[in-house]
Structure 1
């Protein structure tokens, strides 16, 4: 009996430590913190908590995922459907206007309209990666000076490399840098080659662009559990936390890098399956607050429109004159749209 009691205490203690290592529950209430790093972490953590805390463990396994990007399922607040939240990342950052040529983008301005607009918007959210819109949303919500929102991660990686005096970030090699709260860990997404830091740097010196993905660092615990905690959008169709190992110096160790010769993940090669193994090519280091204060003022989010008390029924978008069916309201289109870059 005593042995069982001691074992239970040990397991409870270990469980409590694991829960405590996730900083998001305590960071959530610090959206108005004085320092930019804490505001960034608080904004990212709030999204992860809203999505019921999906996460990938240090072994690269998806350990928890409750809802998906274009579902009607409601988030933690009990009111917001997941697809409306995803559309908000596009809409509230002003990036939806830049996607005007893509099918379904226009309907995402009208999430309380007809069944047609709802379906078209949800299709847009599935068809178009929204991870950069998510990062932009977090940075704008955290009021980070000098940050320029973009639908492409490559744009703010390029800004940090080419115009470091205007960017809120320093461009570093993730294999040698010490990640900290507010930083971005970025990977190149290519099915034909592995770039690494040197390859990405060469690309940034030329024209064109690359498909990329960036996660936001929200905690680094070298002396606690030896893990870094990062949050990204459109990771397994949600706002998902990624846990990665760090050494005593606070560096990623080992940095789980994709290789051109690696064995592909399959049911026959389970040991090769690792969702953390990517072509991590850059760490964007958030500058100190004193340096941030010298940059361009932060771009504010569009003020979110209040949803109607109940969704209108029996309205139309392409209305027929004389049909008697009312036109669907369009409450979420900003009165003034920003110029595209």
Structure 2
């Protein structure tokens, strides 16, 4: 009840920001750091082998999976190490994330604790305790097991928000401008609040504001977002997801979401890049509705009626897209 009340209070104020969203999209070019985010996302897409989905949501080119050890050039990081690097944007001091290691039990194991156990079993450590020689793990065996744990944790810990956080941090955003988080909902909520503050005439350091994707043309560097899962199906509009974002504090109740970075816009549509899409960094084409610069409604869950023979099936890209996080 409290969340709904907060949302209803915020809606009239935020509705006044819609004109600002449209004016920004129509008349203001994306700032340099937005373009840097788009360039970084394109770079990572290429480094991951170029996985691509067409405008109908079909996979047309497969890339590297998150745990692969393929190196496309001498000295290049393989996919699993690139994902670990994304996590540094979320957890730079501790390097604890990603930590989940699932093995069939009700509760997943913690990678950092397992790594500590490996260190305790190293030959060097045991020799220091007076055990040996030829006891425990030598350095190469210990490293092999540590890498195996890292690769399992990369698979078992969702990393799409870490990817966005890394792109934002690498583009030069600071912690006062963007909420670096393992959950998309944290930085989406900050952008929602920024829009409310901005519409009310209050200063905000946040770099992005929340806009209605169905009414606002995207620009390179903006983020396009959707709610996911069973909860996402019910949050299929800007207003509905706003009710949750308006009353949720950073780090609050989970809300599965996904966001992509807009990397290119043309007259027919726009291209995005997202992390952990089909276990890779994936390029996605999204078409505009004919004669507009707005997302075609056929991408939305209700966009294709069962008797709509002329409606294009968007397959894996048919999602509850609702939120545009726009550079201010």
Q: Tell whether the structures are fold-level matches, with TM greater than 0.5.
A: yes
Q: Between Structure 1 and Structure 2, how many residues are aligned? A: 244
Task: Write the deviation string for residues 166-189 of structure 1: whole angstroms up to 9, x where unpaired.
Answer: 321111111101100110000001
- Residues 168/87 of structure 1: CA separation in 2 closer, same or farther (3 Å cut): same
Divergent runs of 4+, >3 A: 75-79, 95-105, 107-110, 259-263
- Residues 217/76 of structure 1: CA separation in 2 closer, same or farther (3 Å cut): farther
**1:3 alignment partner in structure 2:** none
Matched, 1:179 2:210: no
**2:18 alignment partner in structure 1:** none
Please tell me the root mean square deviation across aligned C-alpha atoms, in Å: 2.9
**2:185 alignment partner in structure 1:** 154
**1:169 alignment partner in structure 2:** 208
- Residues 262/155 of structure 1: CA separation in 2 closer, same or farther (3 Å cut): farther
Matched, 1:280 2:321: yes
Distance in 2 between the 1:44 and 1:123 partners? Answer: 24
Displacement of 1:118 after TM fit? 1.1
Matched, 1:52 2:97: no
Of 62, 85, 89, the match for 1:65: 62
Matched, 1:253 2:253: no
- Residues 64/257 of structure 1: CA separation in 2 closer, same or farther (3 Å cut): same
Distance in 1 between the 2:111 and 2:322 partners? Answer: 31
Of 273, 285, 291, the match for 1:231: 273
Q: Select the structure that is richer in helix.
A: 2
Distance in 1 between the 2:212 and 2:172 partners? Answer: 26
**1:83 alignment partner in structure 2:** 80
Consecutive unaligned residues of structure 1, counting only runs of 5 or more, are 1-32, 264-270, 288-341
Relative contact order (alpha carbons < 8 A, sep ≥ 6): 1 or 2 greater?
2
Matched, 1:195 2:238: no
SS of 1:258's equivalent in the other structure is: coil
Distance in 1 between the 2:39 and 2:99 partners? Answer: 33
**1:214 alignment partner in structure 2:** 259
TM-score normalised by structure 1 residue count: 0.64
- Residues 44/100 of structure 1: CA separation in 2 closer, same or farther (3 Å cut): closer
Please tell me whether the aligned partners of residues 88 and 166 of structure 2 are also in contact (alpha carbons under 8 angstroms).
no
- Residues 160/277 of structure 1: CA separation in 2 closer, same or farther (3 Å cut): same
Displacement of 1:99 after TM fit? 3.9
Please tell me whether the aligned partners of residues 87 and 97 of structure 2 are also in contact (alpha carbons under 8 angstroms).
no
Consecutive unaligned residues of structure 2, counting only runs of 5 or more, are 1-29, 102-109, 120-139, 196-203, 307-311
SS of 2:247's equivalent in the other structure is: coil
SS of 2:66's equivalent in the other structure is: coil
Matched, 1:244 2:275: no
TM-score normalised by structure 2 residue count: 0.67
Distance in 2 between the 1:195 and 1:159 partners? Answer: 18
5 Å-filtered alignment, 1:135-146, equals 135-145=164-174, 146=177
Task: Write the deviation string for residues 4-27 of structure 1: whole angstroms up to 9, x where unpaired.
Answer: xxxxxxxxxxxxxxxxxxxxxxxx
SS of 1:275's equivalent in the other structure is: helix
Displacement of 1:93 after TM fit? 4.2
